[in-house]
Amino acid sequence: MMAFLALITREVRLAVRVGGGGGMAVFFFLITISIVPLGIGPDLNLLSRIAPGMLWVALLLSALLTLDRLFQGDQEDGTLDHLLMGTMPLELIVLAKGIAHWLTTGVPLIVAAPVLGLLLNLPIEGMGPMMFAMSVGSPALSLLGAVGAALAVGVKRGGLLISLLVLPFYVPVLIFGVSATRAALIAVPGDMEGRSLMLLGAVTLTSFVVGPVAGAAALRANVN
């Protein structure tokens, strides 16, 4: 447990000191969202209709942006060898890495989302449900992303490869996330919001199991 917490603390500290982690993701998020109104034009109704979808798409892409460094840094300086050799199960290491990635990328993005929602004329009453849906769904982005990052750990400039590998697994998060947010804004027959949130939660819970196990298997295969 001690080692698990120490690994998370170290990852967060590294991300904060080096920059380029959460900060870069938030800026990318900001840039994508702020150019959307310029491209679409000043149609406020249209903007508020597409706001949930745009925000979720931008969230996904921003999270992808920082994934390639998840294991690469440790592989380059030899840390990964020691992590692999240690007594801590590799699954826990991947889990710690995923959680640290979420803390440094997911959380800043969720905090930034309402501000960017304003740029897209997202109604105020939609902010709360959107942040909630993002909090439920975004851990899945980090944990599923960790699998892609583990698979591409030996590949130089593996960012593109990771995106290709991971994006299909992000699709359920996107679909349920957007539908939960949209259902909160427009009166949809049935409890659409609740059901979408539950499915979103299911995806995240699954990723908590699949992510570490698949990630650890990928790391083992890659190092040999």
Residues between 42 and 81 with contacts to another protein, criterion CB under 8 A:
76-79, 81
Cα separation, 83 vs 99, in Å, equals: 17
Task: Tell me how far apart the alpha carbons of residues 17 and 9 are, in angstroms, rounded to a whole number.
Answer: 12
Radius of gyration of the chain (CA): 18
38, 39, 41, 87: residue in contact with another protein (rule CB under 8 A): 87
Q: Rounded to the nearest whole angstrom, what is the least distance from the CB of residue 152 to another protein in the complex?
A: 19
Tell me: does residue 3 bind another protein (CB under 8 A).
Answer: yes
Nearest Cα neighbor of 75 from 167, 161, 139, 149 is: 149
Per-position x/- string for 147-166, each x denoting binding to another protein as judged by CB under 8 A, each - no binding: --------------------
Stretch that binds another protein, among 4-12, 23-31, 150-158, 190-198 (CB under 8 A): 4-12
Contact set for another protein, span 91-120 (CB under 8 A): none
Residue 11: how many other CB atoms lie within 10 Å: 22
Closer to another protein by CB, 16 or 40: give it: 16
Instruction: Using the rule CB under 8 A, give the single segment among 1-9, 27-35, 55-63, 200-208 that binds another protein.
Output: 1-9
Task: Give, for 5, the enclosing helix (H) or strand (E).
Answer: helix 2-18
d(CA 80, CA 74): 5
Residue that the structure tokens 């889990």 belong to: 95
Other Cβ atoms less than 10 A from the Cβ of 157: the count is: 9
Residue number, 39 or 78, with CB nearest to another protein:
78
Residues that bind another protein (CB under 8 A): 2-3, 5-7, 9-10, 13-14, 17-18, 76-79, 81-88, 223-224
